[in-house]
Amino acid sequence: MENNKTAWERLTLVHTKGRPTIRDYIPLIFTDFCEMHGDRLFGDDHAIIGGIARLDGKPVTIIAQVKGRDLNENKDCNFAMPLPEGYRKALRLAKQAEKFHRPVICFIDTPGAYAGMAAEERGQGEAIAKNIAEFMTLRTPVISIVLGEGGSGGALALGVCDELAMLENAQYSVVSPRGFASILWKDASREEEACNIMQVTADDMVRLGVAETIIEEPLGGAHNDLDKISENIKEYLSLKIEEKCQKDIDELLKARYTKFRKIGEFTE
């Protein structure tokens, strides 16, 4: 792994044109993918895709945030900023997975949940809150992977899981560095400085107890060898899904709650 990059250099790399997205990964990691649309309440959000597929021949449910590979794709998927109906679709599919006893694999790749009038009117806060609470007790294994950016509650809505992995250059943060600079210093242009002090890298996540595993990227970044990075992701998923499926579900849920319960630093 490359250990000499700053957080900002990694973020720049994640934003590089040609960085693989979930649409590149699905055919190389899974077979028989069937995409499912809609939340059955309002509509179909294109920033989150979901469906069923096989991993090593075994059924799984996939829920993923979608980055566009060009401007047209980005317009279609709203730059991977989901609306409430995206989160509600995700929950619907997770509940479906629970019913049919198949594990859930979430791919996180968003600068944050969409901030706009439509999102507020349809309860962005409620949608995210509900996902977080429901995933906490979802009676089937859940594995999440941060592919590029994991920004704010918009990422956490797919991030309540038994184990979290980060791609080597991926970042996970309370808000995007730009938002951070804007909120704290009222100056969005200080995003590089923000990024470097926020502690957002894969190493930071492991140290802070947020992530368990770092998935190695090919030299120079995931875009340099799509086959290799897909193989690394698949290897990780095969191992973890097998491991979690063998566990007693009540034990698994207890461990899932404890994973989040113990994060925080305080004195008494």
Partner 1 sequence: MFEDFFKVVKHRFNNGDEEETFPTVKCPRCQSNIHAERYEELNKVCPNCNYHGRLTARERIALTFDKDSFEEFDSGMISCDPISFPEYPEKQEKLREATGLNDAIVTGVGLIKGQKAVAGIMDSRYMMASMGSVVGEKIARAFEYATENNLPVIMFTASGGARMQEGIVSLMQMAKTSGAVKLHSDNGGLYITVLTDPTTGGVTASFASLGDIIIAEPKILIGFAGRRVIESTMKQRLPEDFQLAEFMQEKGFVDMIVERKKMRKTLAKILSIHAPEEKEV
CB atoms within 10 A of CB 148: 28
Residue for token pair 């294994």? 141
Tell me: does residue 204 bind partner 1 (CB under 8 A). Answer: yes
Choose between 33 and 260: whose C-beta lies nearer to partner 1.
260
CB of 164 to partner 1, least distance (A): 10
Structure token digits, residue 237 = 């998923």
Task: Answer yes or no: are the C-beta atoms of 43 and 84 closer than 8 Å.
Answer: no
CB of 120 to partner 1, least distance (A): 6
Apex CA 70: angle with CA 42 and CA 190, to 5°?
90
Taken in order 181, 17, 237, 136, the sign of the CA dihedral is positive
Helix (H, G, I), strand (E, B) or coil at 223: helix
* 167 bridge partner residues: 215
Judge residue 143's burial from the number of C-beta atoms within 10 Å of its C-beta, 0-12 exposed, 13-18 middle, 19 or more buried.
Answer: buried
* 215 bridge partner residues: 167
CB of 217 to partner 1, least distance (A): 20
CB of 17 to partner 1, least distance (A): 23
Choose between 64 and 202: whose C-beta lies nearer to partner 1.
202
Binding mask 149-188 toward partner 1 (x if CB under 8 A, else -) reads ---xx--xx-xx-----------xxxx---xx-xxx----
- By CB under 8 A, name the one of 35, 56, 120, 187 that touches partner 1: 120
- Distances from the Cα of 229 to the Cαs of 139, 148, 177, 236, 248, in angstroms? 30, 13, 26, 11, 31
- By CB under 8 A, name the one of 119, 165, 167, 215 that touches partner 1: 119
Taking CB under 8 A as the binding criterion, the range among 12-20, 102-110, 126-134, 238-246 that sits at the site for partner 1 is: 126-134
Choose between 25 and 172: whose C-beta lies nearer to partner 1.
172
Task: Give the residue among 104, 93, 65 at the shortest CA–CA distance from 81.
Answer: 65
Give how many residues touch partner 1 by CB under 8 A: 52
CB of 115 to partner 1, least distance (A): 3
The residue ranges that bind partner 1 (CB under 8 A) are: 113, 115-117, 119-126, 128-130, 132-134, 136-137, 152-153, 156-157, 159-160, 172-175, 179-180, 182-184, 197-200, 204-205, 208, 210, 257, 260-261, 263-268
